[in-house]
Amino acid sequence: MKLSGKVAVVTGAAQGLGRGFTEAMLQQGAKVALLDIKVLDGRKTTKELASQHGQDKVLFLPCDVTDKGQMESAFQQVLRHFGQLDVVVNNAGVSEHGNWEMVLDVNLRSVIHGTLLGLDHMSREKGGAGGLIINIASMAGLLPMFHGPVYAATKHGVVGLSRSYGTPFHFALTGVRVCAMCPTMADTPIQPPRVASTPEEQLKADAHWAYVDNQGGLLQVSEVVDGFLQLVADDSKNGAVMRITKQKGVDYQPYGGGGQGVPYASRNTRSKL
Ligand SMILES: NC(=O)c1ccc[n+]([C@@H]2O[C@H](COP(=O)([O-])OP(=O)(O)OC[C@H]3O[C@@H](n4cnc5c(N)ncnc54)[C@H](O)[C@@H]3O)[C@@H](O)[C@H]2O)c1
Ligand SMILES: CCCCC[C@H](O)/C=C/C=C\C=C\C=C\[C@@H](O)[C@@H](O)CCCC(=O)O
């Protein structure tokens, strides 16, 4: 997809990878609605981006992605404000912590909801013009993560969701590509500090950073953004799961014979259901 003249929604856009995706799309001529629960940071980021790209190119909407009403209202506001919707990036996420239900709500339930809303507004079968949904999973959606089992479970869910909506069965009716991205550890505020405040936290921090250092360190946001732009540009990629690692850079997770969603893959099959 060419981004010039398109309208995108990015959740969790106030900082980190979400900010990076937003900035890159603005540079390529898109308009972007930034959604985030962090209102002050979101406003600050949006102001900075408006000063570089134009006030008419950005819209900040305070939104807790786990609140279904807030998400629905945000999508409506985007359509009212910009008049169209072409790209949805379900990026908001949190790392593993004591409240596992919250990790599940932010990292998986809200991504499912954001995907369904994106399909509602962009699907050709519902009068839309087609589009693109990119769900930000993680390498922890493909591999076990010893220090984040719930995080890993949510990201595996995001991969399964994206692969399933990214089958020809759905694309034939929606015209919406759905893909997932699986970066390894990247240098954003989600990373824990190297020095913790309690001995117990320090043990966890040491294990985390040993793991990161073992992989060759953190990815830069720009490396993840480069992969993101490749995925946006390549219309042949649907249901694709992009990996980004220090070792191999950008590549795609290979899948076997079921990768295209058999047995219900074709439009013919669908019409007989
Ligand atoms: N940084 C990494 O190492 C890494 C690696 C792979 C995948 N990811 C994934 O990338 C995505 C972005 O992470 P990041 O590294 O930029 O983290 P980050 O903490 O810098 O940014 C996450 C953003 O999501 C927002 N957010 C959190 N909960 C929210 C909610 N309920 N409603 C709305 N916004 C909410 C935060 O306010 C923040 O602005 C996440 O899904 C994360 O799991 C990160
Ligand atoms: C507290 C931090 C938040 C989590 C950030 C992130 O989402 C978590 C990532 C978890 C696991 C990363 C694993 C990375 C492994 C790779 O470097 C590499 O070993 C994988 C090689 C895969 C392959 O080539 O097949």
Pocket test for ligand 2, best of 17, 94, 143 (most atoms within 8 A of CB): 143
* Per-chain mean pLDDT for the chain: 94
- Mean local confidence (pLDDT), 44-67: 98
In a domain, 196, yes or no: no
The ligand with the least distance to the CA atom of 94 is: 1
- The answer on pLDDT for 256 being more than 80 is no
pTM to 2 decimal places: 0.95
**Which pLDDT value is given to residue 123?**
98
The ligand with the least distance to the CA atom of 114 is: 1
In a domain, 195, yes or no: no
Ligand 1 midpoint to CA 13 (Å): 8
In a domain, 194, yes or no: no
In a domain, 204, yes or no: no
In a domain, 14, yes or no: yes
Ligand 1 midpoint to CA 258 (Å): 30
In a domain, 159, yes or no: yes
Ligand 1 midpoint to CA 172 (Å): 31
- The answer on pLDDT for 267 being more than 60 is no
Q: Verify whether residue 264 is a known catalytic residue.
A: no
The finding on whether 138 has its CB within 6 A of some atom of ligand 2 is yes
Tell me which residue has its CA closest to atom 41 in ligand 1.
93
- Mean local confidence (pLDDT), 45-71: 98
Residue where the block lists tokens 């990214």: 166
**Which pLDDT value is given to residue 240?**
98
In a domain, 103, yes or no: yes
Q: What is the pLDDT of residues 218-252, one digit of tens each?
A: 999 999 999 999 999 999 999 999 999 999 999 99
- How far are the Cα atoms of 105, 133, 139, 210 from residue 33, in angstroms, in the given order? 22, 14, 27, 37
Q: Which residues of 235-273 are buried (b: 16+ CB within 10 A; e: fewer)?
A: eebbbbbbbbbeeeebeebeeeeebebeeebbeeeeeee
* Residue of higher predicted confidence among 263 and 98: 98
Catalytic residue among 151, 211, 255, 264: 151
Integer Cα distance of 152 and 70 in angstroms: 26
- Mean local confidence (pLDDT), 122-136: 98
Going by pLDDT thresholds of 50, 70 and 90, the confidence category of residue 265 is very low
Token representation of residue 127: 């009068």
Q: What is the pLDDT of residues 172-226, one digit of tens each?
A: 999 999 999 999 999 999 999 999 999 999 999 999 999 999 999 999 999 999 9
Q: What is the pLDDT of residues 68-111, one digit of tens each?
A: 999 999 999 999 999 999 999 999 999 999 999 999 999 999 99
- The answer on pLDDT for 254 being more than 50 is yes
Q: Which residues of 143-181 are buried (b: 16+ CB within 10 A; e: fewer)?
A: eebeebebbbbbbbbbbebbbebbbbbbbbbbbbbbbbb
Domain total of the chain? 1
**Which pLDDT value is given to residue 263?**
44
Ligand 1: which atom is nearest the Cα of residue 106?
Answer: 31
Ligand 2 midpoint to CA 163 (Å): 19
Element (H, E) at 161: helix 149-165
Going by pLDDT thresholds of 50, 70 and 90, the confidence category of residue 119 is very high
The finding on whether 66 has its CB within 6 A of some atom of ligand 2 is no
The ligand with the least distance to the CA atom of 140 is: 2
The ligand with the least distance to the CA atom of 154 is: 1
Looking up residue 179, the CATH number of its domain turns out to be 3.40.50.720
Going by pLDDT thresholds of 50, 70 and 90, the confidence category of residue 264 is very low
**Which pLDDT value is given to residue 270?**
52
The finding on whether 184 has its CB within 6 A of some atom of ligand 2 is yes
Ligand 1 midpoint to CA 163 (Å): 21
In a domain, 154, yes or no: yes
Residue where the block lists tokens 């629905």: 72
Token representation of residue 74: 């945000």
Going by pLDDT thresholds of 50, 70 and 90, the confidence category of residue 25 is very high
Domain hosting residue 24, numbered range = 7-188+218-272
Ligand 2 midpoint to CA 215 (Å): 8
Pocket test for ligand 1, best of 21, 38, 111, 188 (most atoms within 8 A of CB): 188
